[in-house]
């Protein structure tokens, strides 16, 4: 079996750490590298990164799939749909204590390649602002956590 044929462990590790956070009362955060293939509210992206609260309380219809992380959430009071390719998740960690795992950044993708990889998923269009949609998605946690660090240990920096 060729190295390229081996399925990625990243989606399984993301699901496992998300479950660990949820089971232990922690808030799971995903750090995401943003490019044209990521559907997130662009106004919250800083330095091509965004940190997302993926707790069950902050999201609606959360799906941690093998190819994509998908959910609906509120950003600034507006319900939005989020679609993140799994290979763009660069870290998952608990907000409260910084415990988690970091992953290598994704390979750069050109705008043309991203458009060809499923244009329907790539449109950063806000969800309709009906009363139904707003009631469906809970508020996003805007807390600014700073994970604890020890000398010589890597630390995750929250980028909003």
133 backbone dihedrals φ, ψ, rounded to 5°: -65, -40
Distances in Å between the Cα of 101 and the Cα atoms of 6, 76, 90 are 20, 28, 8
Global pTM value? 0.68
- Gap between the Cα atoms of 124 and 107, Å rounded: 21
Q: Where are the domains of the chain?
A: 8-136
What was the pLDDT predicted at 6? 85
Between 37-41, 69-73, 140-144, the lowest mean confidence (pLDDT) is in 140-144
Average pLDDT over residues 133-157: 50
Q: Tokens representing 28?
A: 């799971």
Per residue in 66-81, pLDDT tens? 999 999 999 999 999 9
What CATH number has the domain spanning 8-136? 2.30.30.220
- Bridge partner residues of 80 (DSSP): 73
Quote the mean pLDDT of the chain. Answer: 79
């Amino acid at each position: 079996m060729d190295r390229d044929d081996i399925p990625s462990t990243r989606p399984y590790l993301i699901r496992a750490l998300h479950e660990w956070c949820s089971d232990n009362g922690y808030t799971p955060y995903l750090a995401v590298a943003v490019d044209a293939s990521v559907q997130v509210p662009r106004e919250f992206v800083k330095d091509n990164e965004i940190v997302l609260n993926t707790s069950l309380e902050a999201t609606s219809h959360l799906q941690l799939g093998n190819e994509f992380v998908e959910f609906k959430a509120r950003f600034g009071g507006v319900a939005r749909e989020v679609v993140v390719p799994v290979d763009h998740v660069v870290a998952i960690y608990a907000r409260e204590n910084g415990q988690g795992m970091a992953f290598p950044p994704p390979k750069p993708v050109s705008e043309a390649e991203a458009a060809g990889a499923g244009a329907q998923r790539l449109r950063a269009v806000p969800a309709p602002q009906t009363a139904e949609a707003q009631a469906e998605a809970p508020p996003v946690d805007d807390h600014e956590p700073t994970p604890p660090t020890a000398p010589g240990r890597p630390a995750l920096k929250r980028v909003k």
